[in-house]
Structure 1
Amino acid sequence: MNTYEKLQEEACKDGIDVIDYPFESNGIKGLYCNGTVAIRDNIDTTTEKACVLAEELGHHYTSIGNIIDMEYTGNRKQERQARLWGYNRSIGLFGLIRAYEHGCKDKYEIAEYLDVTEEYLEDCIDCYRDKYGEYKTVDNYTIYFIPNLMILKKL
């Protein structure tokens, strides 16, 4: 079972419908509304679909009301929270550590190992940099976000 199928199963267990939808705007990959996630029907890979679904599930678990208008600070905060939920679900600090322990040497290998797109991984790292700053220590590991992603294990 791939990551997208696992997320679909998780959504189903929580009573969330996931449907493919032919959005007219090319700028929309997914939307969440009232217990339904719509995913663009012509997304090429299940990896990208999983990234979109993770964020939209983040909206289910963290957002309230209509937040489409990004002119409002509260809506932008809710958008960030939903994305952070998706990043934590799909990647997470421990996911970065697992990738390091698996021997992944660059962002391409990390993205492939975690079954996310490189763009999604980059966005996650940017979000973590904004949240944690230069680095974050987890157990015996230090994850550096500045200047580039780097993970060191304390001996």
Structure 2
Amino acid sequence: MIERPMPKKMPGLYKNGVIYLDKQLSPEKSVEILAEEIGHHFTSAGDITDYSKIENMKQEVRARRFGHELIITFDGLIEAWSIGVHNIFEMAIHFGVTEEYIFEAIEHYKQRHGLSTIHGDYLIRFDPLMVYKYKDLRGE
């Protein structure tokens, strides 16, 4: 990863196996952009800097969602909930990202899984965000 000044509308760039980040980003934004650029490594192909092309925008969305799942994992949500992190502000601090990023990740999960999902022994509700021990719900 290389930190350097970047064009105004490009806080990060993945090119030839190297991630470039704007050195003026906040620590939280750096984490978010780094995760997205890692997503580009795994999900994108070619030069996608021309945002007027729909395929390029699709690759941007795919990389962004990859980043959400990289940082805000189900295991991470369960762990945060279990230690008393129960609101978006606290979640943002816990994961080292902005509150907006937490909202985006939850919205992504709602689109992908619906209003809830089961992960291991846990039920994760996305609206409102809550985590339940699934065994507790079955009366075990």
When normalised by structure 1's length, the TM-score is: 0.78
- Are residues 1:36 and 2:15 paired? no
Deviation at residue 66 of structure 1 after TM alignment: 1.8
Q: How many residues align?
A: 135
User: What is the SS of the residue equivalent to 2:124?
Assistant: strand
Q: Which runs of 5+ in 1 are unaligned?
A: 1-17
When normalised by structure 2's length, the TM-score is: 0.85
2:74 to 78, 93, 111: 93
Deviation at residue 52 of structure 1 after TM alignment: 1.0
In the other structure, the counterpart of 1:153 is 133
Deviation at residue 51 of structure 1 after TM alignment: 1.4
Deviation at residue 82 of structure 1 after TM alignment: 1.1
Deviation at residue 104 of structure 1 after TM alignment: 0.7
Label 1:74 to 1:140 Cα distance change in 2 as closer, same or farther (>3 A).
Answer: same
Q: After superposition, where does 1:1-155 map in structure 2 within 5 Å?
A: 18-25=1-8, 27-45=9-27, 47-146=28-127, 148-154=128-134, 155=136
Deviation at residue 128 of structure 1 after TM alignment: 1.0
Q: Which 4+ stretches in 1 moved above 6 angstroms? A: none
In 1, the alpha carbon distance for the partners of 2:48 and 2:115 equals 30
In 1, the alpha carbon distance for the partners of 2:118 and 2:54 equals 30
Kindly provide the amino acid, as one letter, of the partner of residue 21 in structure 1.
R
Deviation at residue 95 of structure 1 after TM alignment: 0.9
Deviation at residue 23 of structure 1 after TM alignment: 2.0
In 2, the alpha carbon distance for the partners of 1:144 and 1:73 equals 32
- Percent identity, aligned pairs only? 36
| Deviation string, structure 1 residues 93-140 (Cα, Å, up to 9, x no partner) | 111111111111211111212222212111111111111111111122
| Deviation string, structure 1 residues 29-54 (Cα, Å, up to 9, x no partner) | 21112212111111132x32111111
Q: Which has the larger radius of gyration?
A: 2
In the other structure, the counterpart of 1:4 is none
Deviation at residue 68 of structure 1 after TM alignment: 2.5
Label 1:73 to 1:24 Cα distance change in 2 as closer, same or farther (>3 A).
Answer: closer
